[in-house]
Amino acid sequence: MRVGIGILGFGTVGGALLHKLVNEGSSVSTKTGLEIDVVRVAVRDLDKTRSVSLPADVLTEDPMEVVNHPDVQLVVEIMGGEDPAGDLVAAALRAGKPVVTANKALISSRGKELIALAEKSGVPLLFEAAVAGGIPIIRPLSETLAGEQIDRVLGIVNGTTNYILTKMAEEGAEYKAALAEAQELGYAEADPTADVSGADAAAKAAILASLAFGTWVAGDRVYTEGIERIDATDLRIAGELGYVIKLLAVAENSEAGINVRVHPTFVPADHPLAVIRGATNAVFVEGPSFDQLLFAGPGAGGAPTATAVLGDVVDAARELLAGAQVAPPIRFQPGRVLDFESASTTWYLRLEVVDRPGVLAQVAGVFGDNEVSIKSVWQEGEDDGATLLLVTHAHNEGRQRATAQALRSLDVVNNVAAVIRVEGAGPTPNL
């Protein structure tokens, strides 16, 4: 059974996908019974040397030619970005062509609109590859667990940052050196801003939350912090306390509403996410019926993402040939998306302070004024200055921020050097 596909994009993921289709096509056909014929591929530069050889008439610099070509029955969008990818995907769906995409930025911003358009057109829009590379997580959330209550989703969904933090924690690597190595291995782009700032993880967190809770969460409603300020001191302290630092995507659903956030987090060493090393991704799902589920696997690089894309292509092609929609449509109900300030969080703070009597009392007074209680406090350093390390009890995020701001204006505090949230009850030092 033949299916003609058009591919928008020939970058890292596009190259890996085409390698599978061109060089391993017979294996794909044997396993699936499908003959996937690459009809058109949109590229930016026709003269560029590429990893996979294709006939010259297959390549085009006009992406709309891919969408409109009469022999293209299914469109794969892996060009990235919101523009023009969004309009191209919408055009394909309106033309009644199934679409497979790996574009997390597009799905997090226009996913609700495009999912509705796909249902109206009676064709699938599949985006398994948009979150966590080769890990199957989209289909479990949207189908397998669709009838279950999900309370919380925790995820390490950016392989670049997890690789960097692993290198820094385990080998003592400097941030810049770990980032450069990630780039050399293909885990990070030449411009790594989206990864290290947390923006990439935030887009994925929005998608996971929307599917897990059945309420659309736009990407711009996700509170986001990156890893740029994490340094060796905090990694050392985390290790001494029995924790590791991970960039976590956290989505929680309660009676009050939904809150979604991405930020560095102290994760207990005995938590399943603590052992996720290198470029591996993992998503931890919690619910009353199934307790806890962990999905883990390769989350960075072209090959794992291409694997997820190919899986969606096979599913979409089967639906196309069957002439019927197999997977149920994804639908969203109204719900309340909360600002992060209303969430309950535990904080670790590292303060550089003047080393003289009475400093701790002044610092504690600021916490008391903002109704934030301290669980643990200890001191490092001496002579010209000292470092106070504090862990709070769980409190309203807004109060925690007000406390940090007030500490910055205290004359005995030279610097609020680090603020990192803590998963669980928070560490207690052995004093």
Q: In whole angstroms, what is the distance from residue 127 CA to residue 108 CA?
A: 11
Same domain for 57 and 16, yes or no, is yes
| Of the candidates 111, 400, 369, 374, the residue with the CA atom closest to the CA atom of residue 263 | 400
Same domain for 160 and 292, yes or no, is yes
In a domain, 330, yes or no: no
- Per the CB < 8 A criterion, the answer to whether 304 and 133 are in contact is yes
Same domain for 184 and 272, yes or no, is yes
In a domain, 136, yes or no: no
* pLDDT given at position 431: 38
Determine the structural domain holding residue 368 and report its residue range. 343-422
Same domain for 155 and 292, yes or no, is yes
Cα-flanking dihedrals φ and ψ of residue 318, to 5°?
-65, -40
Q: Is the pLDDT of residue 360 over 80?
A: yes
User: Rounded mean pLDDT of 225-230?
Assistant: 95
Q: List all residues 6 or more positions away from 109 whose beta carbon is below 8 Å from its beta carbon.
A: 82, 86, 203, 218, 219, 220
User: Rounded mean pLDDT of 63-78?
Assistant: 97
Q: Express each pLDDT in 122-176 by its tens digit.
A: 999 999 999 988 899 999 999 999 999 999 999 999 999 999 999 999 999 999 9
The CATH number for 93's domain is 3.40.50.720
In a domain, 162, yes or no: yes
Same domain for 290 and 155, yes or no, is yes
In a domain, 158, yes or no: yes
Share of the chain above pLDDT 70, in %: 97
In a domain, 135, yes or no: no
In a domain, 427, yes or no: no
In a domain, 231, yes or no: yes
Same domain for 101 and 88, yes or no, is yes
Q: List all residues 6 or more positions away from 180 whose beta carbon is below 8 Å from its beta carbon.
A: none
Burial of 46 (0-12, 13-18, 19+ CB in 10 A): exposed
The model's pTM is 0.93
* pLDDT given at position 320: 86
Same domain for 165 and 280, yes or no, is yes
Q: Express each pLDDT in 229-247 by its tens digit.
A: 999 999 999 999 999 999 9
Q: How is residue 425 annotated by DSSP?
A: S
Same domain for 100 and 170, yes or no, is no
| Of the candidates 100, 49, 60, the residue with the CA atom closest to the CA atom of residue 314 | 100
Q: How is residue 337 annotated by DSSP?
A: B
The CATH number for 163's domain is 3.30.360.10
**What is the domain count for the chain?**
3
Cα-flanking dihedrals φ and ψ of residue 324, to 5°?
-150, 150
Same domain for 391 and 404, yes or no, is yes
Same domain for 306 and 389, yes or no, is no
In a domain, 327, yes or no: no
The CATH number for 365's domain is 3.30.70.260
* pLDDT given at position 187: 83
Point out the residues that are catalytic.
204
Same domain for 155 and 293, yes or no, is yes
Same domain for 248 and 176, yes or no, is yes
